[in-house]
Each structure stands twice: as C-alpha cells, then as structure tokens.
C-alpha cells in the first residue's frame, strides 16, 4: 500500500458524541480503507468532554495550573482515539492510535495555546506502510526541549490535521463536521444561510479569525503556507463540500460573502506611559499568571492608558478576569461586547462600513467601533445585540 495516496480526515466532537456515532464514523473509515486509501484520522474529544473537564478542573481549583490543565484536557482526545481504534478493529480493519507526542507533533513551550513548530511522523508512516489506519489525538503535542505535553487551544484538532497532512504530503485534508461546509452565516442564527462551495484561503482565514466556527483560523493559515488541499465536508450529508482554493476567486468585486461573529470580547485598560509600556505590562501580567497571548483585535493609547480589545475561548477569558481582581493598574475598561464581521470577495469596498452602520441603525443597533482589514469590516456591538446584528447584516450578503 506504500504507493497509495494518503488522506487525512478530521472529525469534530459532535460527530463522535456517542459510541453509536463513533462506530458510524469507523464504518466510513473502513470503507475508505477498503478502497485502497491510506487513512490518517484526527479525532477531537467526544461531544462536550473538553467543557466538562474544564468545569471539573475549576471545581477542584479556582486557578488550575496550566501544565496540569493540559494534562487533564488531553485525556478527552485519548478517549476518542482509543475507542475509534477499537471500533475499527471490531470491523476487521487494522488500526493503531497515537497521542500527539507519539505521532511526532512538536510544539513550543506554551501551555493551553501552543504552536506547532515541527512534525516528525516516523511512526505514522511506518504504520501506514503496514496497512493500518492511524488514529491521532488532535489538539495536543509535546515540547521537545522540556518533554512537556502541550495543547494547541480550542480548535487545535484542525491544526493537527493540517500539519500532519503537510508532513505526510497527503492528497488532501478533509475537515468533517456536522454542518454543511462553510455557510454565509451561522445557520443556528440565520436559518436561510447559504452554503459556500468554493472559497479562497484569504477569505476563509478572515472569516475564521472573526468567528466562523467551521475551522480555527490558525489551521487555515497553515494550510495556505504549506499548500495543503483543504476540503470541508458535512458528516452524513450529501457529496457537496466546500473546496478551498489557492487562487483568488474574484478580483476586487467587493461583494459581501459572509457575516460572522465573536460572541464575547473583553476590553482591558492598562495604566502606562505609552503603547509599548502598556503591552509590556500586559505581557508581564500574563506570564505571571501562566496565561498565553489572546487573540488581539484592537489596541490604542491615550491619556496614560493602553486599551486592548481581546478575544479567546471562554475558559481563558474567565481566567483573565480572575487575575484582574488584584492589580490596580490593569482593569476591565467596560463590559464585554461582541463583534459582527462582513467578509468580502476581493477586498472591502470603501463604503461598506457606512452601509453596515446604516443597516444596524435601521434595526436599532448601535456599534461603538469598527476594525477594517483587507477582506473584512468588523463592528463591535452590545453582546445582547449580537444575533440581531448578524441577522440584519446578512441582508447585505443576500444583495451580493
């Protein structure tokens, strides 16, 4: 089987939520293996396992050590990988499971949000050559210098799959979830959101950075840099999928492609002498509390204060808020808000921020700030207005 193409598939937690669902995925993998494909499958934790483990950690400790939290959270994917291997064996398919460290996923030393620095898939290649399906625990790796287990942050299983596909020079990387590829909005908010069948990397990266749940934005960037053929598919759905292309699909059309949102954004204020000083104090605060860098959306300095607008998963944000209870020179600037973003084909048109503000005003929603990037305009709105803002701005997508 050594000359047969390699396919990397990644299954999200919703696809693996129950033993019955897990066995159904195993049957699909067995069929793929039977057609002569060499298969690597990357698995997330089953259902809401990661959330349950985080909740358990905070019941034991109000400020869990980040190293120990990584040790705890990686058990979720280990459960999925071992059960998947058992299910495949029961179907008569040879399979073996590996943790991130066993698979050669090397990361930096950051706990909770580590980045992959190298992939050395020696054992993975050996087992593929023996005709086995290789089942990998996503979301995790090992720092080669310290030999510590690390996690890649929420959505990290996507990054694991793309990195492994690049290292193995796979035919393609398929991200399989319970949603129909990439849509023009979250179907749970906008029921008539349309599936998008072809996307370029630039647009998809912007969408994921600004809240599209279908992929983690770091995995999109990695796929683009490593030239990994990327396909997003719905588990149990039709043969339709979202194909991600290298080439820009349209030139400067300015048409609105999709609307996405981040439900929780925190605003931190730091007393300082200038912007650099503010960042320095924030970095020291995070290091002291073993927190990784968040997703920084905006920052400014004025009147002796640096304001930082940040997003991350709920666990990180809650941990940050607990650390702000002590120091007087770091504080919340205001209540949490949400962002609502419009992503465009071929770049943002000059009048889009104004048009977006007009639409929000017509629905009684007031945005207090916006951030402009080459392919998106993102507006900050009250958290309670997020879903109404997504629905309202989807009107602009329909006009595209």
Q: Is residue 83 part of a domain?
A: yes
Residue 127 lies in a domain: yes
Provide the b/e sequence for 145-169 (b: ≥16 CB within 10 Å).
Answer: eeebbbbbbbbbbbbbbbbbbbbbe
CATH of the domain at 102: 3.40.1160.10
Tally of structural domains, the chain: 1
For residue 331, is it within any domain? no
Residue 225 lies in a domain: no
Would the pTM of this model clear 0.85, i.e. be above it?
yes
Is residue 12 in a domain?
yes
pLDDT digits (tens, 9 = 90+) for 63-102: 899 999 999 999 999 999 999 999 999 999 999 999 999 9
> Tens of pLDDT along 348-389?
888 999 999 999 999 999 999 999 988 899 999 999 999 999
The verdict on residue 250 lying in a domain is no
- Taking only the tens of pLDDT, the chain with its 400 residues reads 556 789 999 999 999 999 999 999 999 999 999 999 999 999 999 999 999 999 999 999 988 999 999 999 999 999 999 999 999 999 999 999 999 999 999 999 988 889 999 999 999 999 999 999 999 999 999 999 999 999 998 889 999 999 999 999 999 999 998 877 789 999 999 999 998 888 888 889 999 999 998 888 889 999 999 999 999 988 876 567 888 877 665 555 678 999 999 999 999 999 999 999 999 999 999 888 888 889 999 999 999 999 999 998 888 898 898 888 777 899 998 899 999 999 987 778 889 999 999 999 999 999 999 999 888 999 999 999 999 999 999 999 965 4
Which residue range forms the structural domain that includes residue 96?
6-178
Report if residue 85 sits inside a domain: yes
Q: Is residue 129 part of a domain?
A: yes
pLDDT in tens, 237-250: 656 788 887 766 55
């Amino acid at each position: 089987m050594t000359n047969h193409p390699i396919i990397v598939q990644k299954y999200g937690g919703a696809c693996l939520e129950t033993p019955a669902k897990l066995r159904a995925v195993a049957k699909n993998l067995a069929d793929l293996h039977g057609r002569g494909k060499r298969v690597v499958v990357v698995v997330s934790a089953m259902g809401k396992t990661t959330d349950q483990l985080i909740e358990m950690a905070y019941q034991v400790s109000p400020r869990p050590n980040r190293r120990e939290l990584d040790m705890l959270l990686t058990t979720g994917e280990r459960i999925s990988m071992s059960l998947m291997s058992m299910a495949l064996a029961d179907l008569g398919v040879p399979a073996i499971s590996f943790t991130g460290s066993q698979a050669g996923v090397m990361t930096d030393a950051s706990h909770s949000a580590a980045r992959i620095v190298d992939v050395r898939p020696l054992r993975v290649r050996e087992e593929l050559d023996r005709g086995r399906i290789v089942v990998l625990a996503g979301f995790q790796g090992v720092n080669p210098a310290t030999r510590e287990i690390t996690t890649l942050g929420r959505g990290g299983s996507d990054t694991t799959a793309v990195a492994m596909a690049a290292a193995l020079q796979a035919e393609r990387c398929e991200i399989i979830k319970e949603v129909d590829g990439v849509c023009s909005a979250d179907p749970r908010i906008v029921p008539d959101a349309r599936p998008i069948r072809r996307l370029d990397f630039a647009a998809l990266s912007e969408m994921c950075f600004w809240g599209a749940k279908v992929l983690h934005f770091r995995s999109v960037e990695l796929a683009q840099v490593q030239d990994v053929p990327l396909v997003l598919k719905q588990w149990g759905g039709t043969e339709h999928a979202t194909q991600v292309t290298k080439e820009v699909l349209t030139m400067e059309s300015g048409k609105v492609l999709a609307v996405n949102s981040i439900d929780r954004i925190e605003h931190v204020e730091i007393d300082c002498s200038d912007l650099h000083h503010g960042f320095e104090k924030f970095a020291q605060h995070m290091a002291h509390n073993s927190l990784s860098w968040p997703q920084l959306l905006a920052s400014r300095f004025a009147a002796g204060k640096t304001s930082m607008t940040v997003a991350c998963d709920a666990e990180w944000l809650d941990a940050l808020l607990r650390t702000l209870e002590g120091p007087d020179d770091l504080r919340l600037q205001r209540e949490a808000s949400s962002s609502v973003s419009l992503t465009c084909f071929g770049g943002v048109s000059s009048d889009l921020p104004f048009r977006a503000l007009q639409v929000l005003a017509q629905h009684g929603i007031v945005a207090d700030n916006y951030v402009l990037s080459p392919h998106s305009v993102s507006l900050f709105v009250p958290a309670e207005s997020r879903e109404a803002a997504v629905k309202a701005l989807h009107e602009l997508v329909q006009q595209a």
